[in-house]
């Protein structure tokens, strides 16, 4: 039993070391693969989210149930946004896609709360299609397929390719070109959220001036179009 314990500890330590090295390698490959504009978009998106969100922190006199519900959803969205970023940069794409699906549901619920009484929404699943239409239906279907392992092709996110061209499963992440696509899905949802957040902050913070943030947001929209994060019918 004593020998087995040492073997287990050694296995864990070796795994941790290899796992960290794999993540560092994937992170570097991701950053080397993205365009300069894509990198600028990614950093600007993160910065704007933080700056806008900071306007909501403070004391509120007798906040309504709806406001607290939306505030906590917004906080959860921003926290999860950065978790997703880390997962993508580390090569954990299935896990990232699963959380992007949750983000889409949170965003839908935030918009539902703007338009419907809170009592009619409690214990009900957010209706993504009502908010995003056909585009939301396609995106939600794609995200759900990955989250539920609904097709064998999802396993490609967990495989690796050796120098001799062979493929196989791996416990360690490896860089895949689809990581950029995964990030773009997250950014697409985050852009919609940021637009909602700016309106929400303006409504609930008397000192907030949205002008500078809207200017940055419009720059982000332009970059998103140029990077194909947002696709127009002409581009498709």
Angle at alpha carbon of residue 82, lines to 194 and 39, rounded to 5°: 80
pTM, two decimal places? 0.88
Q: 98: exposed, middle or buried (C-beta count within 10 Å: 0-12, 13-18, 19+)?
A: middle
| Cα 9 from Cα 155, distance rounded (Å) | 29
DSSP 120: G
> What does pLDDT average to over the chain?
88
Report whether 77 contacts 107 (CB < 8 A).
yes
CA dihedral 49, 219, 31, 78 (to 10 degrees): 10
Condensed to tens digits (0 to 9), the pLDDT of residues 130-177 reads 777 777 778 888 888 887 776 656 666 665 655 555 666 778 888 888
Q: Which band of pLDDT confidence, cut at 50, 70 and 90, is reported for residue 202?
A: very high
Q: What confidence score (pLDDT) does residue 167 get?
A: 66
pLDDT digits (tens, 9 = 90+) for 83-102: 999 999 999 998 999 999 99
Per DSSP, the three-state class of 122 is coil
Instruction: Return all residues near 62 (Cβ < 8 A) that are at least 6 apart.
Output: none
Q: What is the pLDDT of residue 128?
A: 87
Residue 1 confidence class, pLDDT cut points 50, 70, 90: low
Which one-letter DSSP state was computed for residue 56?
Answer: G
Q: What would the two tokens of residue 140 be?
A: 């939600």
pLDDT at 67: 93
Least confident of 15-24, 29-38, 88-97, 161-170: 161-170
Where exactly are the structural domains of the chain?
2-226
Nearest to 108 by CA among 189, 220, 40: 189
pLDDT at position 234 = 42
């Amino acid at each position: 039993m004593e020998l087995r314990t040492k073997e287990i500890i050694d296995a864990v330590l070796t795994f941790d070391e290899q796992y960290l090295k794999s993540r560092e390698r994937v992170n570097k490959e991701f950053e080397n693969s993205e365009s300069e504009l894509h990198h600028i978009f990614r950093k600007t998106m993160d910065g704007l989210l933080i700056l806008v969100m900071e306007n909501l922190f403070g004391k509120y006199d007798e906040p309504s149930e709806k406001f607290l519900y939306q505030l906590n959803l917004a906080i959860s969205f921003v926290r999860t946004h950065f978790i997703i970023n880390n997962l993508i940069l580390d090569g954990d794409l299935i896990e990232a896609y699963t959380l992007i699906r949750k983000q889409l549901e949170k965003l839908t619920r935030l918009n539902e709360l703007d338009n419907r009484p809170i009592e009619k929404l409690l214990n009900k699943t957010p209706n993504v299609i009502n908010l995003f239409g056909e585009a939301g239906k396609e995106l939600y279907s794609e995200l759900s397929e990955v989250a539920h392992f609904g097709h064998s092709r999802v396993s490609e996110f967990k495989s690796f390719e050796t120098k001799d061209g062979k493929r196989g499963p791996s416990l360690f992440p490896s860089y895949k070109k689809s990581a950029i696509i995964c990030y773009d899905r997250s950014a697409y949802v985050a852009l919609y959220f940021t637009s909602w957040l700016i309106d929400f902050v303006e409504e609930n913070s008397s000192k907030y001036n949205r002008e500078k943030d809207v200017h940055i947001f419009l720059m982000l929209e332009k970059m998103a179009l140029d990077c194909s994060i947002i696709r127009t019918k002409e581009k498709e």
